[in-house]
Every structure is written in structure tokens, then in C-alpha cells.
Amino acid sequence: MSGLAAALALVIADPLILGGQAQATSPGLGPELISLNTDTAERMTVPVSVDEAGPFRFLIDTGSERTVVSEEVAGRLALAPGPQARIVGLAGVGQAETAQVNVLRFGKQVLSGLLVPLLEGRHIGADGIIGIDALQHQRVVLDFAKATIAIHAATELYDTRSYEIVVRARRRDGRLILTNAIFDGIRTDVVIDTGSSGTVGNRALQRALRERTVGAGAIASVTGQVLPAEFGIGAKLSIGKLSIGNVLVAFADAPAFRELQLDRKPAIFLGMREMRAFRRIAIDFPARKVSFDLPAR
């Protein structure tokens, strides 16, 4: 099991947390349906144009505060440089160069006048990241069965009765945090993190589970930093009436938990491996709701 844990650690990306003001989105009219691609870590990517060039392949990351462009794309497009930005991720704290982007488009969504942090494409695993600064006024529907993502404006009505369960969340730094999840009998805060292939837990959860581990490894960050971690397996994670079994968690003393004030009580960043147990997930940022559907039985 320790060998398996070490291999899995190599594909776990962290939720990227960056200081600075989030940029406003100019939403298109009506819902936009975008076909998803999947990277080697089973994270979701969408085609994006940067200053009318592209398309480039960007991760959809509900754990990242800011939209990010790779250093390679910035160099290719000769983007104007900006000031450095502070980065807080799972694997550490650091500084990143930034660049000016006039227009960034994905589907009908348009962002203008962006100051984007720059990271190496080999660490991101893509050409960039679409963060919650581009999604905070939207409702994002991830349909794993159809491999699509639908992006709706906040003003559009939708019927939550078509989902098996709707969970209310609280909002912190733009992220939605589910506060009523139960992990093997332990009440646990959950951050939905589409930018991470695997689930990461804090030390408070590990202690509550009595230091349950099955092997050691490391978390590889999109910033290029690496953080030692211990891996454990939970029998059941319950979110409302829905449950996920055999949850593999990387436990680490990650700065991202402290930055979001989630380090003292049990908390996890729920990654794509576990989210794919559902058929659909709708993340409604303005209404602070997350809706789930199980696969057809």
C-alpha cells in the first residue's frame, strides 16, 4: 500500500490560494455548455483563449482564488509583466510573477483587465487555471456522465428538485465550504476542489481518526513545491444523505488550511477522484449551495 500511496501522491495538485483582488466576470447570455477534457490526473480542462490567441487548455479549479496563466503561454504571447503576487498552497508559501491579460474567454464567459499569476506549465499540468474569480457569480454544473460543464449566470433560475440532495454551504474567500459532512463519524468541513485529483485532509482530521495511516508519500503542488504526507483510507464520507466509500486521503500540515482558518477542526479539500462517484455536481456560488446526483441505478 505504501507504494500505491507514493504513486498517487505524484498526481495530487493543491488548491491554489493567492492574495489580491479577484477580477469581475462579464457573463454571457444564457447557459453555456462546454465539453470537458480530462488530464492524466483526472482533473477537468476547458478550451480558453488569451488575448484572442489559443485555444489553450485550462484547468477548472474551484479551490483556486485566482485565474492563472502558465509561464510558457505568457512568454509566447509576450504578456506585459506585473508585480509579484503571494501564493499560499498546500505545499508551501511563496511568490509568483504576474502578467497583464486584456481579455480571457472560455465559452461565453469573458474576463477583462486581468492581472494573472504565472506558474510553470509542467507543474500545473495545463496551460493555466480558471479560478473562482471567474466563477464566483456563476452556477457551475459538472456532468461527469456527459463529460460537460454548464455555466449559468446567477440570475438564471434552475430546479434543484432534479438533484437528489442540495447542501447549503458557507463562503470564505470565495470558496464554498460544506460544514455538515461526516467522515467516519467525525464532523468535517469540506471544500469542493476540482483542481485536485485526490482528497487532502488536515492534521486535525488525522488526529480525530487516531492517526490512521496506510503509507507515506508527498503532495506535489502546482507551484512546484512538495510537502510530505501520510495516506489513510476512510470507510465513508457522508454529505447529507449521500455517501462515498473507501476515501483515500493525504494528511498534511498544509498552509492552505491555516490560510482559510480550517486547520483547528477536521477539514478536507475534496478532490476529483471522490467527486466522480457522483453523476452531477452543481456548484452555485451566489446562492451558496452545492447539489449532488448519484449515477443511475
pLDDT of amino acid 77:
95
pLDDT in tens, the chain (297 residues): 333 333 333 334 445 555 433 344 444 444 444 444 444 445 677 889 999 997 999 888 887 888 899 999 999 999 999 998 888 777 777 888 999 999 998 877 788 888 989 988 888 888 998 888 888 777 888 888 787 777 776 555 555 566 667 777 777 777 778 878 899 999 999 888 887 778 889 999 998 988 667 778 888 777 778 888 888 888 899 887 778 888 888 898 888 888 888 889 999 988 888 888 888 888 888 888 888 887 655
Q: From the CB of residue 44, how many other CB atoms can be counted at a distance below 10 Å?
A: 24
Domain 2-153 has CATH 1.10.760.10: no
d(CA 59, CA 125): 8
d(CA 4, CA 6): 5
Instruction: Reply yes or no: is the peptide bond before residue 266 cis, omega within 30 of 0.
Output: no
pLDDT of amino acid 270:
87
Same fold, 2-153 and 165-293: yes
Per the rule left: phi > 0, alpha: psi between -120 and 50, beta: everything else, 174 is left
Architecture category of domain 165-293 in CATH: Beta Barrel (2.40)
d(CA 121, CA 123): 5
- Structural domain boundaries of the chain? 2-153, 165-293
In this structure, what C-alpha cell is assigned to residue 34?
462546454
Beta bridge partners of 189: 267
Q: Indicate the burial class of 219 (C-beta count within 10 angstroms; 0-12, 13-18, 19 or more).
A: buried
